[in-house]
Amino acid sequence: MTILESIRAEQQGIVVSGNHPKIVQSILDFDYLSGNEQSILALVTSGRKSQKFFWGTKEILLPCYKNFADIPTALHGRVQFLLNVQSGRRAAESTTAFFSVFPDAFGAHIFAENVPEAHATDLIASYGGSKIIAGPSGVGLLVPGALKLGAIGGVDASQIVSNTLLTKGSVAVVSTSGGMTGELIHAVSKAGKRLSFAFCIGGDRFPVSSLTEVLSLAEEDPDTKGIAYFGELGGVDEYEIVELIRSKKLTKPVVAYIAGIIDESFDTHVQFGHAKALVSHKDESARAKREALRSVGVMAADSFPEFLEALESLPESAGDDPVVDISPLLARRASILSTREVLNVHEVPQFVENGKIVPTETSFMSSAVGGMLGKELTSPISKAFFEAVGKLLIDHGGHVSGAVTSMITARAGKDLVSSLSAGLLTIGPRFGGAINDAARLWMRGVAQNASAVSFVEETTKEGNLILGIGHKKYRVGMPDPRVASIEAFTNLLEHSKYFSFARSVEAVTTGKNGSLILNVDGAIAALTLDILSECEGYSQKELEILADAEFFNALFVLPRSAGFMAHIIEQKRNDEGLFRLPDSLLFTRPDELS
């Protein structure tokens, strides 16, 4: 089995050295659209433990390691290629390090240009002829439907589809130029042909895999029926083609274009884009190369339009192009913070059913509440209630202010305690700190034996908000499920006077605005008062002392600290680096506001 047949037959595994998000994402999109498994297994880069990308429309985190030796041994058997996007100075060192850890890997692509010539010749001495290495200075290797190693074929989903890179064909594209490799791929597709593979040898003076090696791949590949080749003035690569054809080591038809005739218009030879695109001898001119190729039967066009027409003569044996809808991929937008819910906040458990407490095995929250009260809880209703409150308040998603602040602080490299403290400092009347003041309001209303109407009027006349009332998301007809879940505890109580008063206030406020419902802060405050008074024997005076000590807010701070720490630990485990708000989400400056 040839190397190309092996690539088509097996799922490929790629390790990336360095960081080039657009190229990596294009490879993931190619894998996804081809129906393959994810080929990018890991990134070797400093400063983070993971990096965010998309698999289809789903966000994923790719693991990052400091060096190749840190990659888990469980992945070693799947690693076949290196995508090296390091700088030219580091390219050889990192490539050698890769093959020292993965000696059985098929090959690599070195993206950087201007790799020192001494480094390039060392790579040739070590791996030339034994590994497939595209570059230095190029766009990589492509095998349609099987492998995309580099920017080759484009870096967005629309290019992958428009260049028909998902369909296996019979034309090999070979070029030293990265830009022209892309042009040839596009031209082959427009000519109604499909690729068997495409290989960018690289524009530096000393590419690791020679033109002879690449053309031998094409000759040995049963799927390849013809070759489209782009070359340029300078160097003697094209004479390798001539010798291969003369020795009958290359028998498949070749259509070629050699750029650089314009060099003849200058008094002296001109250095063009690539390192070796400079004529040093007469036989390195574009004209000399074209004539040499024609002498062995290669269709070497005089102009690029003529070359495009000649592509139509190449054999073709491709299947139908798949119908692919890429609109979901084009519409995706990355989240600004990667996090999960500590608990599923959309599935609120029931703690009381059919008038009975649902058994729970945990006792941390009730023990902690007993510690804060200074005496152990005695009623099973009290214990079950505080366990329920703790479970409901551990987390409400990563988008709330305290969780966001904790995560951003962790991403800045701060320690657990500092990150937790940052999140806790956001707790106040607008986030999580309303339970205590809501308890004061319910105590005042019940103590005064006030009607709900007069209570609402008096409070609003004072210019005060009724904390415990109102929600941005929930409203009449769409209540907060957490409130309904804990309200069931009223069925276990004799009076529940505080909760009843809170509901009567809600009846007044929702008459004014449907979003002014009893929220979870207000419900917890009211039920805590009822349970402590009915089940634990607390007097009004004792409840007021607890409010002065902010005991009621502690019911939020205690479990939410666990939620914040879960988000912090997740950020440190993923380690995506310092957080920066995207420019698209920045606010206007005050002087720009009208």
Contact at 8 Å (CB) between 507 and 454? no
d(CA 155, CA 318): 24
Using CB atoms within 10 Å of the CB of residue 494, give its burial: 0 to 12 exposed, 13 to 18 middle, 19+ buried: exposed
What's the rounded Cα separation, in Å, for the pair 471 and 518? 8
Q: Which tokens in the block code for residue 295? A: 């002498």
Does residue 401 come out as left (phi exceeding 0), alpha (psi in the -120 to 50 range) or beta?
A: alpha
Q: Give just the sign of the alpha carbon dihedral 323, 325, 330, 335.
A: negative
In terms of DSSP H, where are the helices of 128-202?
A: 157-162, 178-190
Q: What does the DSSP 8-state code read for residue 235?
A: S
- Report the amino acid identity of residue 477: G
Residue 586, both tokens: 């920045």
Under a CB-based contact definition with an 8 Å cutoff, are residues 156 and 26 in contact? yes
Please compute, for residue 129, the number of CA atoms within 13 A of its CA located in the half-sphere on the CB side.
Answer: 3
| C-beta atoms surrounding 234 within 10 Å | 25
**How distant, in Å, are the alpha carbons of 135, 210, 212, 314, 341 from that of 251?**
25, 18, 13, 13, 61
399 is catalytic: no
Q: Count Cβ atoms below 10 Å from residue 353 Cβ, excluding itself.
A: 10
As a whole number of angstroms, the distance between CA 236 and CA 146 comes to 32
- What span, in angstroms and rounded, lies between the C-alpha atoms of 231 and 274? 11
3-class DSSP state for residue 480? coil
What DSSP character marks residue 112? -
What is the rounded distance in angstroms from the CA atom of residue 28 to the CA atom of residue 160?
Answer: 11
How far apart are the C-alpha atoms of 390 and 520, rounded to whole Å? Answer: 12
Taking the C-alpha atoms of residue 93 and residue 88, their distance in angstroms, rounded to an integer, is 10
What is the distance between the alpha carbons of residues 488 and 26, in angstroms, rounded to a whole number?
Answer: 52
Whole-angstrom Cα distance, residue 219 to residue 244?
10
Amino acid at 538: Y
The one catalytic residue among 20, 109, 119, 274: 274
CA trace torsion 456, 457, 459, 461 (10° rounding): 160
Half-sphere exposure of 154 (CA within 13 A, CB side): 18
User: How many Å separate Cα 319 from the centre of its chain?
Assistant: 33
What does 300-345 look like in DSSP terms, one character per residue? EESSHHHHHHHHTTS-----PPPP---HHHHH----SS----SS-T
Instruction: Write out the catalytic residue numbers.
Output: 274
